[in-house]
Amino acid sequence: MNRSKSDALHHEALSHLVGGVNSPVRAFKSVHGNPIYFEKASGAHVTDVDGNVLVDFVQSWGPLIHGHSHPQIIEAVHEKMLNGTSFGAPHLGEIELAKRVKQRFDHMDKVRFVSSGTEAVMSAVRLARGYTGRDMLVKFEGCYHGHVDALMVSSGSGLATFGIASSPGIPQDTVATTLICPLDDLEAVEYLFKEHGAEIAAVVIEPLPANNGLLVQRPEFLKGLRALCDAHGALLIFDEVISGFRFKEGSYGDLCGVVPDLTALGKVIGGGLPVGAYGARHEIMEQLSPLGPVYQAGTLSGNPLAMAAGATTLDLLDSGAYDHMEALGALLEEKMEAVLEKHGHPMRMVRMESLFWFSPGNGQPAVRADQIAKDAAGLYADVHRALLDRGYMLAPSAYEIGFLSTSHDTSHILGLVAAMDDALSEMELTS
């Protein structure tokens, strides 16, 4: 596949943008390639500047649950745009999207819209601290919550430990109140509550961790977190920025029968435009300015174009849409597992509805970050390149997941599986 124009643009971008990109994983570093410059996209396909057409399983990292340029979403945005791109004042679109979000997240009496998932989690954490009057947070190894300073921490191995900032520029004091636990380890969380129970404002978790592989959590673990928070007066914050609206039943929390105090959303609810949201019951949300003392604001919050894209996206998510994605996911899982097994390839497919991940190794898929095989990146880089050369675009990182959309169909799934079969056969011949 010729990518000379993409390569030339990347070269030019290196003089103007840091690493040529505006978000690090786009740089293709971990799959040892250059980023691909897109020119246009429609449905399941993207066309790059060299004219190559790729079947896209990244879908802008999750927001495009109906694929690229869905005609009804484009029309809704276009129609709104003719009336102005931003008001900085209330408008009907905000109420319309809030109603739709509340329909699915019924623990939310009120919603606040922001402009990104990072902002949603950051604000939810501030609100939890303001509401409880406590400072400490519990977060989990392998969960990503956007680049929120207080949550940019990694842990040492073993039992829960105090956080150490995982990026320069974050004062140690900022993460000194963040406690880290391994996923799927309720005892570690119990231990933290025993030591610091009266100081913990919130437990923050991706109930379906999807940023370090897809680490599917047991409902019992999430129920255990709920019980610990209740026993100690802490809030449970679910970060469903990726998983929100990916389930017919509602959220991953709903699927597990666990109701959080606060939920952070993003991605799908903006339909491809910049949106985040957080919501909770009245007594918590009413601590937020202008009703309460916890301050949070945004120039473009509730942007009319983003609200319209989000509301149309959610309207299109009927049960037929979920059934379609579930059927495609089941097909992908079955066929891909068979191909990986046929080639004895040390990778397994993990899937939850329209989200999937290639888990390295042949054993039980990881449920904690430290269980992910260390050679994950190397294994994945070869597969990624081979699939790209065959016209299939997966995320350029072993730890990022794949996304199905309503715009995918059986031919895309069978094509991806056939491309994998072919790629693995070729790798066997050359190894």
Point out the residues that are catalytic: 144, 239, 267
Phi-psi region at 344: left, alpha or beta (left = phi > 0; alpha = psi -120 to 50): left
268-297 residues in contact with ligand PLP (CB under 6 A) are: 276
Question: Which residue lies nearer to ligand PLP by CB, 121 or 325?
Answer: 121
Asked whether position 303 contacts ligand PLP by CB under 6 A, the answer is no
Residue 340 or 394 with smaller CB distance to ligand PLP: 394
Q: Which stretch binds ligand PLP (CB under 6 A): 185-193, 235-243, 350-358, 379-387?
A: 235-243
DSSP codes, 52-107: -EEEESSGGGTT-TT-BT-HHHHHHHHHHHTT-S--SS--HHHHHHHHHHHHH-TT
**Do residues 337 and 359 make contact, with C-beta atoms less than 8 angstroms apart?**
no
Distance of closest approach, residue 254 Cβ to ligand PLP, in angstroms: 17
What 12-15 contacts at long range (C-beta under 8 Å, 24+ apart), as own/partner pairs, is: none
Residue nearest to ligand PLP (CB): 117
State the Cα angle at 130 between 170 and 188, rounded to 5°: 65
User: Total number of residues binding ligand PLP (CB under 6 A)?
Assistant: 15
Residue 40 Cβ vs ligand PLP, minimum distance, rounded to whole Å: 23
Q: Output the smallest distance, CB 11 to ligand PLP, in A.
A: 26
Interface with ligand PLP by CB under 6 A: which range of 131-139, 142-150, 214-222, 359-367? 142-150
Cβ atoms < 10 Å from Cβ of 201: 24
Give 208 or 228: the residue with its C-beta nearer to ligand PLP: 208
Chain center to CA of 165: 21
241 forms part of the interface with ligand PLP (CB under 6 A): yes
For helices 376-389 and 410-430, give the axis angle rounded to 10 degrees.
Answer: 110
Interface segment toward ligand PLP; rule CB under 6 A; list 76-84, 138-146, 216-224, 282-290: 138-146
Binding piece for ligand PLP, criterion CB under 6 A, among 96-104, 177-185, 236-244, 252-260: 236-244
- In angstroms, give the least distance from the CB of 57 to ligand PLP: 16
361-385 residues labelled b (16+ CB within 10 A) or e (exposed): beeebbbbbebbbeebbebbbebbb
Q: Which of 146, 182, 213, 360 binds ligand PLP (CB under 6 A)?
A: 146
Quickly count: other Cβ atoms within 10 Å of residue 246's Cβ. Answer: 26
117 vs 122: CA distance, rounded Å: 8
Q: What H or E segment, with its residue span, contains residue 334?
A: helix 319-342
Output the smallest distance, CB 147 to ligand PLP, in A: 7
> What is the DSSP code string of 162-178?
E-EESSTTS-HHHHTTE
Over the window 201 to 230, marking each residue x when it contacts ligand PLP by CB under 6 A and - when it does not, the resulting string is -----x----x-------------------
Classify 406 as helix, strand or coil: coil
Considering only 80-88, 129-137, 140-148, 292-300, which stretch makes contact with ligand PLP by CB under 6 A? 140-148
Q: What distance in Å separates the CA atoms of residue 410 and residue 44, rounded to the nearest whole number? A: 12
Q: Does 266 bind ligand PLP (CB under 6 A)?
A: yes
| 317 near ligand PLP, judged by CB under 6 A | no
If we measure between CA atoms, which residue out of 201, 159, 206 comes closest to residue 180?
159
How many angstroms separate the first and last alpha carbons of the chain?
22
Closest CA to 115 of 59, 193, 63: 63
Runs of H (alpha helix) within 105-218:
117-132, 172-175, 186-196
Nearer to ligand PLP by Cβ, of 52 and 123: the residue is 123
Q: Does 396 bind ligand PLP (CB under 6 A)?
A: no
Query: Is residue 111 part of the contact set for ligand PLP (CB under 6 A)?
Result: no
242 binds ligand PLP (CB under 6 A): yes
The one segment of 141-149, 183-191, 279-287, 358-366 that binds ligand PLP by CB under 6 A:
141-149
Q: Is 117 in the site for ligand PLP (CB under 6 A)?
A: yes
Q: List residues binding ligand PLP (CB under 6 A).
A: 61, 116-118, 121, 144-146, 206, 211, 239, 241-242, 266, 276
